[in-house]
């Protein structure tokens, strides 16, 4: 059985042995107090349950010390105030062999869990209680008769009392000690603890009413005896094994006190006028039925809850696995598409650029040979051909850039210099940039970060060019570079804001799709390439736009070393 942690393990070994000795002595005295003056054997022996629980809660190396202490303590509890006889130590040794055998069987062959959260644990404890106490009674009762403690004529009746007393000690005491020593009040809120207190108080009041005030007669059957059963069900349903054992302790304690006092349905006057022990034995059968039913119900409910929790956990894991599988499948399809697009792009570039270069060279030669004054129409047509050649070359270049895998070569670089370089490049290349007023707010104190200057320059140039093209009649371009908290870490934040016409919602929904464009001469690959480059830098791209009020692109990039980039750097 796996070693189960419990509150007693926090104590020093000597303190645990001392506590066991004290509890074992008190339980032995309690068992002796139940024996009537004219009887010889107790009908309830709590010491058997205490010894078994102590062995189950202890490691194997602690067993010799516990058994030796119990063998010494028990005879002194038999005869308080004087030295015990040697035969008392022999009897205590026989009693402890019962607990030793039960603990060994339960731990070696059953693997019992002290929490009693499985039906097999409750059934195993019940079986061990019956088997070991059967052997103990068969050994100790003849020993008592041979030592003159009981007459041989009463051997059979005393054997039955001894067997019932030890069995009930195990069934009532051992579960309570095991469950409360391992878990205590763990997992219960204050409301749940208050509910348990209310349950125990109501149960105690009900037992008090049944055993002290309810009228009983030997000729009548009174169902009020079973009024305690709903409380046992309540404890099993709401508090599982711990609440059930606490309820059984209240029920057993009060019913036993009333029966010994001659009250209740199991009083000697109703059951056996000449034997108090016989009345207690009848009471024990009632308690055994209640206890076994409650513990089995609590264990079954606990197993059902555990199965439901496991099924929920497995369903959650299955859902996550399916999501990961779908994500991997999408990524695989995307890679296959990109591979196919790459092959197509390489083929197109090879088949188109070679004749396109020849055409471009021919147009350039014709342009040098043409005279504008004499061949104005030819000059115009040559200009159109030059523009279309440039457009086709731009299209092939964009297609190759989009199809090519983005694998940035990262190394520490100042981000503000890359931003400034991309902005100046866009301002030089865009004819309408002279009419746009540019406002910069770059934080020079930003730390260096890992990035690929060429790829990032390409992405930022696209964003700056788009912003400038959105303001052909002039406007204002604001470029801000700072830092902000994003996702629990500090990120560099580049904000590019124009005062153009804005982007309609239907265009916003598709603006990052490849080959989607609203420009007459556009390829629809610019923003798709920008997003791929930003993602490759472990950043994120955000767009905010209102029709008639302009557009803002925000690029978030991690400051310092990005995840997974140390090897690349």
Which DSSP string do the residues of 497-518 spell out, in sequence order?
EE-S----HHHHTTTTSTT---
- The answer to whether residue 256 sits within a structural domain is no
Q: Mean pLDDT lowest for which of 120-134, 156-170, 375-389?
A: 375-389
Task: Name which residue leads in pLDDT, 515 or 122.
Answer: 122
Nearest-angstrom CA–CA distance, 427 and 141: 108
Straight-line distance from the first to the last Cα atom of the chain, in angstroms, rounded to the nearest whole number: 52
Q: How confident is the model at residue 374 (pLDDT cuts 50, 70, 90)?
A: low
Nearest-angstrom CA–CA distance, 548 and 517: 19
Q: Quick one: pLDDT at residue 342? A: 62
Q: Quick one: pLDDT at residue 524? A: 65
Q: Quick one: pLDDT at residue 558? A: 86
- The answer to whether residue 522 sits within a structural domain is yes
Looking at the predicted structure, is the pLDDT value of residue 173 above 90? Answer: yes
Dihedral of alpha carbons 230, 234, 236, 241, sign: negative
Task: Name which residue leads in pLDDT, 224 or 536.
Answer: 536
How many alpha carbons fall within 13 Å on the CB side of residue 260? 16
- The answer to whether residue 497 sits within a structural domain is yes
Looking at the predicted structure, is the pLDDT value of residue 198 above 90? Answer: yes
Task: Name which residue leads in pLDDT, 315 or 341.
Answer: 315
Nearest-angstrom CA–CA distance, 181 and 173: 12
Tell me the CA distances in angstroms from 521 to 363, 463, 471, one per residue in order.
21, 17, 17
Q: Mean pLDDT lowest for which of 185-199, 398-412, 418-432?
A: 398-412
pLDDT in tens, 537-551: 888 888 888 888 889
Q: Quick one: pLDDT at residue 337? A: 67
Cβ contact 102:128 at 8 Å: yes
- The answer to whether residue 320 sits within a structural domain is no
pLDDT above 90: percentage of residues in the chain: 22
Of 184, 204, 236, the domain-final residue: 184
In this structure, are strands 475-486 and 489-498 parallel, antiparallel, or unpaired?
A: antiparallel
Q: Quick one: pLDDT at residue 569? A: 31
Nearest-angstrom CA–CA distance, 488 and 431: 42
Looking at the predicted structure, is the pLDDT value of residue 247 above 90? Answer: yes
Tell me the CA distances in angstroms from 543 to 238, 502, 554, 558, 561, one per residue in order.
54, 11, 6, 18, 25
Nearest-angstrom CA–CA distance, 23 and 52: 13
- The answer to whether residue 114 sits within a structural domain is yes
Task: Name which residue leads in pLDDT, 144 or 271.
Answer: 144
Q: Quick one: pLDDT at residue 2? A: 39
Tokens of 390: 């440039």
How many alpha carbons fall within 13 Å on the CB side of residue 418? 23
Of 184, 209, 237, the domain-final residue: 184
- The answer to whether residue 33 sits within a structural domain is yes
Cβ contact 214:227 at 8 Å: no
Q: Mean pLDDT lowest for which of 66-75, 144-153, 347-356?
A: 347-356
pLDDT in tens, 209-244: 888 875 655 544 556 678 889 999 999 999 999 999
Cβ contact 295:122 at 8 Å: yes
Task: Name which residue leads in pLDDT, 145 or 293.
Answer: 293
pLDDT in tens, 248-270: 999 999 988 888 888 878 877 77
Residue of 483, 503, 508 lying closest to 494 (CA atoms): 483
Looking at the predicted structure, is the pLDDT value of residue 297 above 50? Answer: yes
Considering all CA atoms of the chain, what is the largest pairwise distance in Å, rounded to the nearest integer?
147
Residues 6+ away with beta carbon under 8 Å from 25: 73, 74, 76, 77
Tokens of 351: 């088949």
How far from chain centre, in Å, is Cα 15?
35
Q: Quick one: pLDDT at residue 395? A: 66
Looking at the predicted structure, is the pLDDT value of residue 406 above 70? Answer: no
Of 184, 216, 249, the domain-final residue: 184
- The answer to whether residue 471 sits within a structural domain is yes
Looking at the predicted structure, is the pLDDT value of residue 408 above 80? Answer: no
3-state helix, strand, coil in the chain (%, to 5): 65, 10, 25
Number of domains in the chain: 2
244 by Cβ neighbours in 10 Å (0-12 / 13-18 / 19+) ranks as: buried
Cβ contact 556:415 at 8 Å: no
Range of the domain at 458: 409-558
Looking at the predicted structure, is the pLDDT value of residue 430 above 90? Answer: no
CATH number at residue 119: 1.10.1760.20
Which residue is it, tokens 């080959």? Answer: 515
336 by Cβ neighbours in 10 Å (0-12 / 13-18 / 19+) ranks as: exposed
| Main-chain phi, psi angles of 58, to 5 degrees | -110, 160
Q: Quick one: pLDDT at residue 11? A: 64
Q: Mean pLDDT lowest for which of 46-55, 205-214, 473-482?
A: 205-214
CATH number at residue 444: 3.30.565.10
For the segment 552-562, the average pLDDT, to the nearest whole number, is: 78
Q: Under DSSP, is residue 492 helix (H, G, I), strand (E, B) or coil?
A: strand
- The answer to whether residue 486 sits within a structural domain is yes
Task: Name which residue leads in pLDDT, 519 or 132.
Answer: 132
Q: Quick one: pLDDT at residue 33? A: 83
**DSSP element (H, E) containing 91:** helix 86-105
Mean pLDDT for all residues in the chain: 81
């Amino acid at each position: 059985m796996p070693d189960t942690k419990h509150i007693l393990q926090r104590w020093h070994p000597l303190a645990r042995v001392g506590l066991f000795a004290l509890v074992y002595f008190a339980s032995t005295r309690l068992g002796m107090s139940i024996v009537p003056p004219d009887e010889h054997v107790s009908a309830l022996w709590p010491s058997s349950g205490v010894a078994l629980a102590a062995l189950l809660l202890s490691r194997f190396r602690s067993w010799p010390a516990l058994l030796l202490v119990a063998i010494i303590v028990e005879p002194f509890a038999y005869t308080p105030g004087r030295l015990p006889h040697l035969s008392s130590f022999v009897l205590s040794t026989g009693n402890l062999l019962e607990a030793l055998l039960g603990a060994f069987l339960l731990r070696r062959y059953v693997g019992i869990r002290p929490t009693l959260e499985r039906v097999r644990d409750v059934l195993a404890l019940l079986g061990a209680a019956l088997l070991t106490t059967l052997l103990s009674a068969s050994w100790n009762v003849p020993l008592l008769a041979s030592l003159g403690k009981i007459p041989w004529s009463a051997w059979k009746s005393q054997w039955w009392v001894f067997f019932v007393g030890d069995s009930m000690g195990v069934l009532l005491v051992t579960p309570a000690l095991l469950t409360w020593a391992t878990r205590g009040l763990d997992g219960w809120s204050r409301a749940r603890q208050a509910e348990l207190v209310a349950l125990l108080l109501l149960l105690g009041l009900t037992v008090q009413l049944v055993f002290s005030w309810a009228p009983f007669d030997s000729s009548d059957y009174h169902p009020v005896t079973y009024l305690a059963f709903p409380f046992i069900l309540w404890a099993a349903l709401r508090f599982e094994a711990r609440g059930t054992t606490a309820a059984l302790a209240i029920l057993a304690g009060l019913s036993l006190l009333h029966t010994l006092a001659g009250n209740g349905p199991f009083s000697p006057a109703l059951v056996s006028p000449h034997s108090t022990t016989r009345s207690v034995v009848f009471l024990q059968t009632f308690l055994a039925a209640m206890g076994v039913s409650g513990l089995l119900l609590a264990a079954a409910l606990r197993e059902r809850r555990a199965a439901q929790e496991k099924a929920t956990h497995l369903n959650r894991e299955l859902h996550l696995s399916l999501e990961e599988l779908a994500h991997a499948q999408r990524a695989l399809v995307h890679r296959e598409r990109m591979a196919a697009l790459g092959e197509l792009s390489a083929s197109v570039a090879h088949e188109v650029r070679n004749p396109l270069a020849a055409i471009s060279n021919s147009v350039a030669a014709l342009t040098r040979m043409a005279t504008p004054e004499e061949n104005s129409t030819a000059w115009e047509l040559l200009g159109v051909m030059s523009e279309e050649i440039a457009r086709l070359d731009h299209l092939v270049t964009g297609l190759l850039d989009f199809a090519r895998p983005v694998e940035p070569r990262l190394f520490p670089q100042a981000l503000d210099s890359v931003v400034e370089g991309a902005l100046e490049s866009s301002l030089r290349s865009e004819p309408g940039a002279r009419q746009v007023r540019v406002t910069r707010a770059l934080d020079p104190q930003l730390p260096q970060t890992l990035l690929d200057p060429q790829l990032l320059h390409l992405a930022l140039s696209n964003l700056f060019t788009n912003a400038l093209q959105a303001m052909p009649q002039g406007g204002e371009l604001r470029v801000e570079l700072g830092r902000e908290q994003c996702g629990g870490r500090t990120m560099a934040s580049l904000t590019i804001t124009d005062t153009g016409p804005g982007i309609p919602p239907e265009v916003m929904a598709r603006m990052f799709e490849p080959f989607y464009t609203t420009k007459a001469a556009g390829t629809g690959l610019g923003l798709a390439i920008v997003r791929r480059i930003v993602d490759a830098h472990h950043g994120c791209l955000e767009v905010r736009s209102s029709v008639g009020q302009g557009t803002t692109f925000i690029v978030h990039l991690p400051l310092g070393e990005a995840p997974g980039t140390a090897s690349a750097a």
